[in-house]
Amino acid sequence: MPMKYVRASVFTAAALAGASGQALAARVDYTVDLGVEDNDNVTLAPFDPIQQRYLRAGLGFSVEENVSALQLNLDGRVEYRDYQDNVFTDTVDGTMSGRVNWIAIPERLFFTAEDSLSVQPVDALAPDAPGNRQQVNVFSVGPTLLFSMGQALHGQAELRYIDSTAEETDEFNSQRLAGALRAIKDLSATSRLSGNLQVQRVDFDDDVFGRDYNRYDIYGRYERTLAHFQLGADLGYSRLDYRSGGENRSEPLIRLDAEWTPTTQSSVNVLIASQFSDTATDALRDVSGERPPNTVPDNILTGDAVVNASPYEVRSLDLGYTFTGTRLTFSATPYLQDRNYVDSDEFDQDSQGARMDLHWIVRQFLTVSAYGTYEKLDYTSLDRQDTTTRLGATLSYQWAPRWSAHLMAERYERDSTDLGQDVSQTLIYLSVSYSNRP
């Protein structure tokens, strides 16, 4: 990770954490790990793999604050790998996801800052090797004004400045100005209806590959919240207007999100969407999503985003199940997605897959964690299909109040209909870690 991204990430983290003096009371959790990793195909080559054993170190952190004037949630991780024999230069990868909400005037004015720093591929069609990774950062900041239009009718006006930057893919770099106006009516103690108008102006740094455009969204939203059930539904219309000429696009906007909690330990959720989106918008949407409190990331996975300047029309269905018990936590999230790019059909894709996560406390000082991902991806214009699986497990033993040892193993396989794109890799990481909290 180049120093400019290290500086940007540190600056953003400091800005989020220091937005108010009250943030000094924030809860901070961190874990430092150091160990040796064995990799049987360090370059992810389809033939003649190179095996290496190298030093790996990581720092994961989580910052949380929730007081009357400030809500802060920030987590991230930095990893260093010391490769041997100059196969790759030593790498530093980092991820961070954070959101801070400062209430300047109670029930009237607040300021929100959000940041997403992730690791994404330079070439989405190539394997996930260290030479095919880049840092992608999306930062958003701006005020929200609340006002009343009657006893049960409320208004909300938003303004956001958004900056998106990619380490290698210059066409992604852009500045955006987004505004929204909302009218919200309380129908009852458990339901409300809102009308929403959103406008976004997108200006790309590289006008050769990125076409500047304006986006307009107008939709109604219905929300209902019960003891064990939550529902949200959006219905409206979206339009993309290109300022440099070309064909404009208009599509219906449809979204549905629902969550059912039949017991205190389990929940089921469903997300349905048909809408315009883009890589920067998706990054900020992930920041705004709910996350478990005080979660310290313990690894960095390269994302699967196509980092370019084109918006796309996406139709998706996501299902999720989560069980949280005293000793066992389990989640499974299958999904279907159809994505069609506006500016070029090269990356048009149909995908289906699932992710599974499990955490089991075997006994007081011994835990087992496991995860698995599966994806079948059809590039419809390229007549290509990639099937990717990733399985990982970690055995952790806490031998002192803040010290623990970990043995992690991961298997990655990718099968492709394109010749020479089949790759596989097995990682084993033996480490010792220190956490600031037992």
DSSP codes joined into one string, 325-371: -SSEEEEEEEEEEEEEESS-STT-EEEEEEEEEEEEEEETTEEEEEE
Q: Other C-beta atoms within 10 Å of 383: how many?
A: 9
Amino acid at 1: M
Helix H, strand E, coil C: the string for 71-105 is: EEEEEEEEEEEECCCCCCCCEEEEEEEEEEEEEEE
Q: What is the largest distance, in Å, between two alpha-carbon atoms of the chain? A: 72
pLDDT of residue 208: 79
Q: What is the pLDDT of residue 423?
A: 94
Instruction: Give the DSSP letter string of 231-295.
Output: EEEEEEEEEEEETTSS--EEEEEEEEEEEE-SSSSEEEEEEEEEEEE-HHHHHHHHHHS---TT-
| pLDDT for 25 | 72
Could you tell me what percent of the chain has a pLDDT over 70?
Answer: 93
Confidence at residue 20, expressed as pLDDT on a 0 to 100 scale? 42
- Dist. CA 253–CA 338, nearest whole Å: 15
Tokens of 424: 């596989």
Q: How many domains does the chain have?
A: 1
Q: Residue 44: which CATH number?
A: 2.40.170
> Which of the 8 DSSP states describes residue 436?
S
> Amino acid identity, residue 41?
N
> Please, are residues 61 and 47 in contact by the beta-carbon 8 Å criterion?
no
Give the chain's residues under pLDDT 50: 1-23
CA pair distance 209, 51, nearest whole angstrom: 39
Phi-psi region of 190 (alpha: psi -120 to 50; beta: other; left: phi over 0): alpha
Task: Give the range of the structural domain holding residue 21, as residue numbers without chain letter.
Answer: 3-435
pLDDT at 344: 84
Q: Which of 289, 2, 11 is nearest to 136 (CA)?
A: 2
The string over 18-28, giving b where at least 16 C-beta atoms fall within 10 Å of a residue's C-beta and e elsewhere, is ebbeebeebee
Which pLDDT score, from 0 to 100, does residue 294 have? 64
Q: Tell me, what's the pLDDT at 22?
A: 46
pTM of the model: 0.89
Determine the residue type at 45: A
Residue 19 pLDDT = 44
pLDDT for residue 292: 63
